[in-house]
Amino acid sequence: MADTKEEAERLSDELMVLARHYFNGRIGIGSTDAGSASPDTTAEVNLFGTAEDVVEKIEVLREQYSTDEIMFEVNWTSSVPRDVVTNTIRILTDKVIPKFK
């Protein structure tokens, strides 16, 4: 998450480069099921964007799937810079979670 759409897009683009690299390294290893993680599913199921974007996406998940729990992983593969992790947690706690209390 980021404070602006531009920053959120830049950060998600960087993460998707990492996801593609990670998953390309797994080609040929096989998977446990047809719904296994991939760069495409990573982009589909993750909550990227500003606080407003994430709140919107959570509301959609709640409406479509009756979602009542979400796991946030803000430092996938320990590759996200500390300041980005800290800012994401700040946005999450200050601007996203209060919308669902």
Going from N- to C-terminal start, the domains of the chain cover 5-100
Mean pLDDT for the stretch of residues 61-82: 87
Confidence tier at 75 by pLDDT (50, 70, 90): confident
Over residues 2-16, the pLDDT tens digits come to: 999 999 999 888 888
pTM of the predicted structure, to 2 decimals? 0.72
Are 18 and 24 within 8 A, CB to CB? no
Residue whose structure tokens are 């960087």:
14
What was the pLDDT predicted at 38? 59
Q: What is the pLDDT of residue 9?
A: 92
pLDDT score of 89:
96
- Quick check: 28 pLDDT over 90? no
Question: Could you tell me if 98 and 58 are in contact, meaning their C-beta atoms sit under 8 angstroms apart?
Answer: no
